[in-house]
Amino acid sequence: MTVKATLHDYQAQAVRFALHTLPVYGGCGLFLDMGLGKTLTTIAILDIIHRLHPEQRFLIVAPKTVAVNTWPAELAKWEHTLDWAVAAGEKPDAKQRETALAAQATVTIINQDNLGWLDTTLTEWPWDGIVLDELSGYKNANSKRFRILRRRKQDRTRPERGRGKGQPTGWILGLTGTPAAKGLIDLWPQCALLDDTHRLGRTITAYRSTYFTPGRHHGHVVYEWKPRPDAFTRIMGTISPYCLTMLAKDQLPDLPQVIMQDHHVTMPAGTRQAYRRFCKDKYEELTDTHVTAVNAGVLTGKLSQFTAGCLYPDMDAPNRTPIRYDQAKMSVVNRIIAEAQGNPVLVFYQYKDELARLRETYGTDVHTPDEPDIVRRWDAGEIPILAAHPLSARYGLNLQHAGHIIIWMSLPWSVEDWQQANARLNRQGQTRPVQIHRIIEPDTIDERKLAVLEQRAMLQDAVMAELKHAAE
């Protein structure tokens, strides 16, 4: 049974902004904070366009979980004129995807990983508009998905519909709450898909030369680009005509507060000794295997494993079973879960060994997001502990109706993973203060992770606030 959609005032504002911007720039960015209803807002936009132009069709590209579950569920809730087909899945589902394309639905939904398949399957794309759910997934200008979409948008022609030959048709609507998760350099690829007027420059090379200077480099190879002193203000002013930002704290003032609780736990002496030795030697000889760090990236990964109380052997080692050093962080997890007094707990882990420890301690009380009907069971109070890797819970897993406690066994490096994961509970519909527990071992790489998250979050907040200010 469907019901008539009722938009909040801020969602109606976003709809008006998009409808005005899409035909002017050939795209629009809705940088809406997590929990503000980007999906419903987009459905309203598509519905209005379709009512005005019934012949037009749309493609929605989303992360797999969102494509398979969230979009069909939201479309089914509301009364509108749109029909849809889901062309998402892995290789064994190729026939299902082909059937969905053959349906010629008004809205076709596909997951990001199948863009390559779609590109080779259809010589000509029939869609007048493309929605990119989680636009931040296209921040790499060298990625295959970016190149496909840019070429398809530039090359599509519809002379039979009265448009000039060679003129790009359609538009791209980009949705994200984290447009600059790692820095301002991420913005060009995303905006290049939205803006036919090339306000940020036609190439990423032009963008870099205009707004950045080379930082860390070796010869002609630049590893890091540093923004010029005025880059932030100039970039924000340049993209504000076609990018709209909304913050949850402004639009949902009654959203319960977030209580951040840091638990500092001392790394046990034996683990600390091994940690320091590995920092120095970048090698650890174990009973029947070994661990080496061939570069800085591997070293940081191995040091993070030490803080989780384990260490994974090298890929070519005869025994790949992780070595366990201690249970320091697990003891804190146990205490937090006990203090939850039966309230459901969402636990984020980084390593499979952390999930294994949870299961060894709590048995069948531990569940994972890949289980069937997990959201309904969570809402019904049937899931005492939901253990998830941030990548498996970033999108489409809305758990705010039954839980308010989050535990991070190990912190991520990515502020996007951090913010998106926390937004599974901290979103519209939450009625209790959200507790976020971070377990940190001082004087280890944990403190570096925390600093990186805070720095990137500050930039992210600055981008969102500046675009919001420019729109007022």
pLDDT top residue among 374 and 320: 374
Is 1 a residue whose pLDDT tops 70? Answer: no
Q: In what order do the strands lie in the sheet with 84-86?
A: 84-86, 107-111, 58-62, 129-133, 171-175, 27-32, 243-246
Q: Is the dihedral of CA 39, 240, 177, 428 positive or negative?
A: negative
pLDDT category at 472 given cuts 50, 70, 90 is: low
| Residue 159 banded pLDDT, cuts 50, 70, 90 | very low
Digit-coded pLDDT (tens) for 226-275: 889 888 889 988 999 999 988 777 777 777 888 898 999 999 999 999 99
Q: What are phi and psi of 51, to 5 degrees?
A: -65, -35
Amino acid 285: pLDDT:
63
How much is the pLDDT for 458?
80
- What is the pTM for the complete model shown? 0.71
Mean of the per-residue pLDDT values of the chain: 85
Lowest mean pLDDT among 74-88, 110-124, 326-340: 74-88
Candidates 96, 161, 168; CA nearest to 130 is: 168
Domains and their CATH numbers in the chain: 9-251 (3.40.50.10810), 258-267+326-459 (3.40.50.300)
Report the C-alpha gap between 387 and 393 in whole angstroms.
10
Tokens 């590109």 belong to 119
The number of angstroms, rounded, from the C-alpha of 120 to the middle of its chain's C-alpha atoms is 26
| Distance between CA atoms of residues 357 and 331, nearest Å | 11
Is 330 in contact with 361 (CB distance < 8 Å)? yes
Q: Read off the pLDDT of residues 409-445 as tens digits, 9 standing for 90 and up.
A: 999 998 888 988 998 888 888 888 899 999 999 999 9
Lowest mean pLDDT among 132-141, 160-169, 291-300, 441-450: 160-169
What are the Cα distances from residue 312, in Å, to 290, 318, 445? 9, 12, 17
What's residue 164's pLDDT? 38
Q: Under a CB-based contact definition with an 8 Å cutoff, are residues 53 and 170 in contact?
A: no
pLDDT tens track for 110-128: 999 999 999 999 988 999 9
287-291, 368-372, 458-462: range with highest mean pLDDT? 368-372
Of all helices (H) and strands (E), which one includes residue 284? strand 283-285
Q: What pLDDT, on the 0 to 100 scale, is given for residue 92?
A: 56
Cβ atoms 393, 355 nearer than 8 A:
no
The alpha helices in 7-143, defined as continuous H runs, are 9-25, 38-52, 64-65, 71-77, 94-102, 115-121
424: left (phi over 0), alpha (psi -120 to 50) or beta: alpha
Q: Which of 326, 325, 345 is nearest to 335 (CA)?
A: 345
